[in-house]
Amino acid sequence: MPAEWEPHRGTWLSWPHKETSWPGKFTPIPGIFARMVGLLADHEEVHINVAGPAMEDEVRRLLADSGTDTGNVFFHFHPTNDAWCRDHGPIFIQHPEVDRPQAVIDWGFNAWGGKYPPYDLDDVIPTRIAKELSLPVFQPGIVLEGGSIDVNGRGTLLTTESCLLNPNRNPALTRPEIEQFLRAYLGVRHILWLGDGIAGDDTDGHVDDLTRFVDERTVVTVVEEDPADENYEPLQENLERLGGMTDQDGLPLRVITLPMPRPLWHEGQRLPASYANFYIANGVVLLPTYDPARDEKARATLQELFPTREVVGIDCTDLVWGLGAFHCVTQQWPLVVGKLGSGEEGK
């Protein structure tokens, strides 16, 4: 599985339509997606799952109204239950020394432990896309969401105990057995386990709200500075764990901290607002913002780490009411450089 910062052919999205994911706040959500599409389409293809022609027409009108050039935007008639493409979308793997250098992994999807049925449409999205693209598809037969893992593209994977070891995913599997699935299907050989996720995260602790690889040996990880905040102790524990971790070659990780925004609440519910939920595209990094006093520190930190990309902050105080942000709604499609090294084989 390539790292997210490696060259993309495009980004996959599932267009939002489930108003109950943002109860009372759905109206601004399509506009946030439209801005995201506009920024991404300047740098790579954007592939959008929609229910059918009527939804495509509606989205095209919205994109036109927002001034987006849709020449790099492609629509696919794959109906979904919800918009969280990171978790239900295709995870692409590749092997440039074989005749068919790219394939799709279709992990089982059960809506984060059966929390939000129905999820039957989301569960089949990777296989539908693989068939449309004429790509091989592998089905491990276990439950796993894309937001629960992060890789450096060189053999190391980050995840959390609170999610992957949760009995609402794969209760019959032990930790060593889950690790074997990760090695066999993602081509990793070194697995790093963090502990608990952040408050308000209904995924049971996805790593993409905590810690992210930004190059082969560097991770950014969020920390909470207020000892009275419920995120303080679990984030300090994760920071301590990272300090003792190495990459696949035994070299210590370089650990950079990101702040946490001030606690964000809506209708009495703590929301999982985190600057770690950014998305890395070809020429841009999309950063969710929530808190002007701390947004700039997070943006500046990432800008220093991604000098060839523009880090763009977009207000996600409405989007995160759905309990996710930019990384949760995107899934990268790597650009395959095949045996000839032309970069065209994946097209």
Selection from 73, 92, 29 nearest residue 319 by Cα:
29
pLDDT at position 300 over 60: yes
CA dihedral 54, 59, 64, 67 (to 10 degrees): 180
The fold of 8-334 is L-arginine/glycine Amidinotransferase; Chain A (3.75.10)
Selection from 323, 232, 241 nearest residue 277 by Cα:
323
**Position 340 confidence tier, pLDDT thresholds 50, 70, 90:** very low
The token duo for 52 is: 């059918």
pLDDT at position 182 over 70: yes
For the segment 209-234, the average pLDDT, to the nearest whole number, is: 98
Residues in the chain: 347
The CA distance from 101 to 270, in Å, is 43
Q: Is 228 exposed, middle or buried (0-12, 13-18, 19+ CB in 10 A)?
A: exposed
Q: What is the pLDDT of residue 338?
A: 55
For the annotated catalytic residues, the residue numbers are 328
The CA distance from 286 to 277, in Å, is 9
For the segment 24-50, the average pLDDT, to the nearest whole number, is: 98
pLDDT tens figures, 10-36 = 999 999 999 999 999 999 999 999 999
pLDDT at position 83 over 90: yes
Domain ranges of the chain: 8-334
Selection from 165, 153, 152 nearest residue 220 by Cα:
152
Selection from 221, 239, 250, 248 nearest residue 153 by Cα:
248
Residue carrying the six token digits 């092997």: 95
What is the number of other CB atoms lying within 10 angstroms of the CB of residue 338? Answer: 19
Q: Is the pTM of this model over 0.85?
A: yes
